[in-house]
Structure formats: C-alpha cells, structure tokens
C-alpha cells in the first residue's frame, strides 16, 4: 500500500463487530444526514519527542474511523515550534504509524501553510479582529485576569488597522527581537473562558526551521495553526483529548473568522505549491486521554529519564514510548487490541497496566511459536546415556495450531535445566526435581536425580541422574504418574544468549505522586531490568530480529530489534506468562 492510499474499509467477510462509541455515533449521524459525504480525519503530532502509548490510542482512533467509514486520514506534523523539533522525531513518528498498521492519505506539515496562515492573520487585522501587542509575557498574564475576575484590555488593543498591519509586516520582516511583540486575536477580555481573552496567535522567534529555514522569524501559535490546518485540509472531524475542550470556542473562532472556504485568495499560496484547495469547516470533538498506572506520560519526564540516563534511551524496552514498546516485543495487533479495550469516552480514567500486558499475552498466545530456553542454567547429566549420545526429537511449534508445523530439537546426555526446577529440600506442594525423585523432561521421557554435585562453597553446580529409556511420549512407560514436567536444552547444542528480563519501570501505581517530597525518580523499580546469560535451542537463536516466541514455562520473549544476531542472540522478555503484579 502506498502512502497515498486511503485507509481501507473492512470487507463484510473480514469486518469485526461494529464499534459503538459516542464519536462513531456522531460520524454515523453526520453521514446519514448528508452533512458529510466523505470522512476525513488527521493525526497531528508535534515532532518534539517520541510518541508514547497515549498517542497509540489517538492513532488507532483517527486512522480507525477513517478506515471504518471509507474515509482518509492525514498525518500532519505540527511543526510550529522549531526550537524543540528535530527530524529524528519526524522519522520515528512515521515509523510508529506504519508499525501500528496504518498508512496516511497525505503527509502534511503545518509549515506547508505558513503563507496562508499569515494571509489569514492579515485578514483578521483588516477586520479589526487582531492587533499587535507590546506587552511582555508576564504583563499579559497579569492583564488576563482570573477564573472569577475579567481581564483588562491591553493598552495596545485600540491600535489602528494601518498601524497593526505595518507592525505585523515588520514582525514578519524580522525587525523585532524575540518576545517583544505578539499578534493577538481581539475577542473578549471579559469572557468566562480565559482562552478567549485575546489569545496570542503569532509570536516572534528567530529560530531556523527544519523545513522553511530562516524564511520565517514569526511562528503561529498552536490553537491558531491547528484549527486552520484542519480547515485547509478539509478535515471533517478533528479528534483531540479532553484538555482541549475549553479551547474549542477559540478553535471555532479561528475557523469562522479566517474563513478560508469563502476567501480563495487566502489559499492561493497552497494552490501555487500544488496543494489542493479543499477548505471546509471541521468539527472538534474531545475524548479522554489514556492514563495508565506504573507509568509516566509527560514528555518532560520522559525526556528527563533519557537525558539523565535513568533509562537506556527513547527505545529502552521499559519506556512507554512506541519505540520502546516495540523493542520490548509488543506487537501492532496487541496495541490495537489494547486501544479497543480501553475504548473511547468523555470520562478520564486510570487503566491498569495489566490490561496492556493482557492484550499482549492474548495476541502472542496464538501468534508466537514455542521454543525452549533456560534462563538460569543448572547442568543435568543423564549418566545411563552413552558419552556422545545425541539425537533429534520432533516438537510442534505451537500446541494449539498445527499450521505452525514442527521442528527438530537436539537432545543429548548433558542438558541445561532451570536452576529453580530443582530443590534439595522441597517446599510443600513441590512438583519438580528432588533428589531421588522423578520428573518428565518435555518430549524426552522421565528422568530421576541420583546425585547432587556441589562446589567448595556448598553451591549446587551439577545434577547427575538417569533417563528411563521406556518413557518416551507414546511408550507404555510414559503412562505412569509423575507430578511435574520441566523444559531443557541440550548443553552440547544450545546457543548461549543474553537474556534481558524487563519489568515495570516504576514500583508504585502512581509515580507522579509527589507526596512526602518524592518524585517519580524515587519510584524507579530497581528490578525493572536484569540481564542474565542463558541458553536457547538452535531454532530460537536463528530467529530474525523482532521475532517473538513463547519460551515454554517462562514467558514471552522477542529477539532484540537492535542487538540480536544468530551468532550472539539477545532476547528481551516482553511479558511473563501470568500477571506477577496481581495481589
């Protein structure tokens, strides 16, 4: 599918159950009434950081609605603050959207529209709806008033149209220093909505822009640029999170008063650049943002984790960034399932981290082939097998799906087993190896431990035992009762692997809680990353980067996206088999 291919609607044969939420109901009503004949949405990230799991909800909603209703969705970068933006983030965001399984109709930038935004601002000035203000940022705050007191008009509010046009042109020409002047919308300083108390719509910033260079020493403010960008692209439904609800009157004011749809001269610069003229009036609709426990979502805090080297970068598998979740082994299907389960509502709520982990387990249970790996190895020598014994055993790749096929697993006299699968003094209810006790070796037969070998420090270094030759699966000897089954890998054939055991980054549900003078830094989980050297069967070592497996009895793991090779395998634990945090 090309990047210009509209989001595809599901066919009747493949369509899932119809999704029902208040936004989709609005879309259905707008189509039924004839208000819109085609749906157009957009995902408008700022390229000033990496996307996190909260953005995944918005991506799935915007692209999902476009696909479900036969419409299209644009990817538009809100690149109006070049001091904080970087092409690295632009590339990562595009990568994230594609990884989640979506393709945009058109790739746009707010900077594509800078000339049209400027012409729109001149129109507002000519109509007495905008003015150049010389108040400093501190003075603007003082004049703005409070929730219970109206604001005071700026002493520059009554400048003439001619003076405002002249000053704005000189701002555009780069004549004034940063922060000395702004262009403000002239709305209502007594409004009960503080966002309507003459908000700034342009500020001076002598900063080079990654797309426009030094062409613009002034940049539009978010509320102005976002609203007009939606209008210029013909967006029908502008979906955003609840914190923008109080900004909606300003959004509508900008769209209505610039009114691109009825003033073709304002959009002529777009036509000259080869962009279509499709101005319309979009509708902003707000939904609850995603809040998940054991996590921080603030870009500032995520940036601090990286810059203070509290994590290993933006794609650290413990980070809630999409790059981090991908490296952890989360799949696009699991992310889409999680977004679906979280749902769309007007009520803010806190989602438990286990819901995210549950979505991944559900996806990988059916999608991940099985392999055997030993994470903390202990050697088991089967003394009744001859020296040099080796053979190949046939294993299914997935116990619930024969379509995954089978593989050959090498078996030999010396095995690695999990250290935790042996207890010299077993606790009550123990069902694994003990001295003199029997256990099933997965797919190989019934084994017994006869001798425990220790080093001078008294640590167990080796087990020696016996394999019942008549107990292979399908043999009569396999039918006797044995309490437990354990996995293993052949010591001669297994491949040494670096295994990174990841867990939640924070040890408390609300790391943003700053009670008792603590910060999120104080709640970092010291057990969130543990690296061990283990052994994997050859069929796991040869995996491609980002290939996921269930390591039997251990958890779901993924071959690391960056570091894994067949010669030096590196596996990240994506999620345990069961929720270890439930309590």
Task: Select the CATH number that applies to the domain covering 293-368+493-583 from these four: 3.40.50.300, 3.40.50.720, 3.30.930.10, 2.40.240.10.
Answer: 2.40.240.10
> Does the annotation list 47 as a binding residue?
yes
| Residue 299 bears catalytic tag | yes
> Does the annotation list 567 as a binding residue?
no
Q: Rounded to an integer, what distance in angstroms lies between the CA atom of residue 91 and that of residue 21?
A: 32
The strand ranges marked E within 433-494 are: 438-441, 445-454, 460-467, 485-486, 489-490
Q: Is 472 exposed, middle or buried (0-12, 13-18, 19+ CB in 10 A)?
A: middle
The answer, yes or no, to whether residue 534 has pLDDT greater than 50, is yes
> Does the annotation list 48 as a binding residue?
yes
Beta bridge partners of 558: 548, 572
Task: Select the CATH number that applies to the domain covering 373-487 from these four: 3.40.47.10, 2.40.240.10, 3.90.580.10, 3.40.50.300.
Answer: 2.40.240.10
- What mean pLDDT is reported for the chain? 94
pLDDT at residue number 581: 74
| Residue 518 bears catalytic tag | no
> Does the annotation list 238 as a binding residue?
no
Distant-in-sequence contacts of 555-559, Cβ < 8 A, 24+ apart: 556/329, 556/360, 556/361, 556/364, 556/368, 557/329, 557/373, 557/499, 558/327, 558/328, 558/329
> Does the annotation list 542 as a binding residue?
no
* Confidence grade of residue 277 (pLDDT, cut at 50, 70, 90): confident
Catalytic residue among 289, 379, 432, 492: 289
* Confidence grade of residue 12 (pLDDT, cut at 50, 70, 90): very low
Which sequence spans correspond to the domains of the chain?
293-368+493-583, 373-487
Q: What is the mean predicted confidence (pLDDT) over 203-226?
A: 97
> Does the annotation list 6 as a binding residue?
no
270 sits in which H/E element = helix 264-272
Catalytic residue among 299, 379, 464, 492: 299
> Does the annotation list 221 as a binding residue?
no
The answer, yes or no, to whether residue 213 has pLDDT greater than 90, is yes
pLDDT at residue number 583: 56
Give how far the C-alpha of residue 279 lies from the chain's centroid of Cα atoms, to the nearest Å. 32
What residues contact 329, with CB distance under 8 A and at least 6 apart? Answer: 317, 360, 546, 548, 556, 557, 558, 572, 573, 574, 575
Give backbone dihedrals phi and psi of 202, rounded to 5 degrees, phi first.
-145, 145
pLDDT at residue number 11: 43
The answer, yes or no, to whether residue 559 has pLDDT greater than 50, is yes
Catalytic residue among 28, 46, 464, 553: 46
The answer, yes or no, to whether residue 141 has pLDDT greater than 60, is yes
| Residue 289 bears catalytic tag | yes
């Amino acid at each position: 599918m090309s990047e210009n291919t509209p989001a595809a609607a599901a066919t009747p044969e493949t369509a899932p159950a119809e999704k029902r939420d208040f936004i989709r109901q609005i879309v259905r009503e707008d189509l039924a009434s004839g208000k819109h004949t085609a749906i157009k949405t957009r995902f408008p990230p700022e390229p000033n950081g990496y996307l996190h799991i909260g953005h995944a909800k918005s991506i799935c909603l915007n692209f999902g609605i476009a696909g479900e209703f036969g419409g299209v969705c644009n990817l538009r970068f809100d690149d109006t603050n070049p001091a904080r933006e970087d092409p690295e983030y632009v590339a990562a965001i595009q990568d994230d959207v594609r990884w989640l399984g979506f393709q945009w109709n058109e790739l746009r930038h707010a900077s594509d529209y800078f000339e049209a935004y400027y012409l729109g601002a001149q129109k507002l000035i000519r109509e007495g709806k905008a003015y150049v203000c010389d108040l400093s940022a501190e003075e603007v705050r003082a004049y703005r008033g409070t929730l219970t007191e109206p604001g005071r008009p700026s002493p520059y509010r009554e400048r003439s149209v001619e003076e405002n046009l002249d000053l704005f042109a000189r701002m555009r020409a780069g004549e004034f220093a940063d922060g000395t002047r702004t262009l403000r919308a002239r709305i209502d300083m007594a409004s009960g909505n503080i966002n309507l108390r003459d908000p700034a719509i342009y500020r001076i910033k002598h900063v080079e822009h990654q797309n426009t260079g030094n062409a613009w020493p002034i940049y539009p403010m978010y509320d102005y640029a976002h609203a007009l960008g939606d209008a210029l692209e013909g967006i029908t439904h502008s979906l955003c999170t609840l914190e923008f609800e109080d900004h909606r009157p300003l959004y509508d004011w900008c769209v209505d008063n610039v009114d691109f749809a009825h003033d073709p001269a304002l959009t002529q610069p777009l036509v000259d650049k080869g962009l279509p003229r499709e101005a319309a009036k979009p509708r902003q609709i707000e939904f609850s943002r995603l809040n998940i426990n054991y996590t921080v979502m603030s870009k500032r805090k995520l940036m601090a984790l990286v810059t203070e080297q509290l994590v290993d970068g933006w794609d650290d598998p413990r980070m809630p960034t999409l790059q981090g979740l991908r490296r952890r082994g989360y799949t696009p299907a699991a992310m889409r399932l999680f977004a679906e389960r979280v749902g769309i509502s007007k009520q803010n709520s806190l989602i438990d981290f286990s819901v995210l982990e549950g979505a991944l387990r559900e996806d990988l249970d059916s999608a991940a082939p099985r392999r055997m790996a030993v994470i903390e190895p202990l050697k088991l020598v089967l003394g009744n097998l001859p020296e040099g014994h080796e053979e190949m055993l046939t294993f299914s790749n997935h116990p619930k799906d024969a379509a995954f096929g089978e593989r050959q697993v090498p078996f030999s006299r010396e095995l690695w087993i999990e250290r935790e699968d042996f207890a010299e003094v077993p606790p009550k209810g123990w069902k694994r190896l003990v001295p003199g006790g029997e256990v099933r070796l997965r797919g190989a037969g019934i084994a017994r431990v006869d001798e425990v070998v220790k080093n001078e420090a008294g640590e167990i270094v080796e087990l020696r035992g016996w394999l019942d030759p008549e107990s292979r699966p399908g043999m009569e000897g396999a039918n006797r009762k044995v309490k437990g089954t354990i996995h293993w890998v052949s010591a001669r054939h297994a491949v040494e692997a670096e295994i990174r055991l990841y867990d939640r980054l924070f040890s408390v549900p609300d790391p943003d809680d700053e009670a008792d003078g603590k910060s999120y830094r104080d709640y970092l989980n010291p057990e969130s990353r543990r690296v061990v050297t283990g052994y994997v069967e050859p069929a796991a070592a040869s995996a491609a980067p980002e290939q996921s497996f269930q390591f039997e009895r251990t958890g779901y793991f993924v071959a690391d996206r960056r570091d894994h090779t067949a010669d030096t395998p590196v596996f990240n634990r994506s999620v345990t088999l069961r929720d270890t945090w439930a309590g």
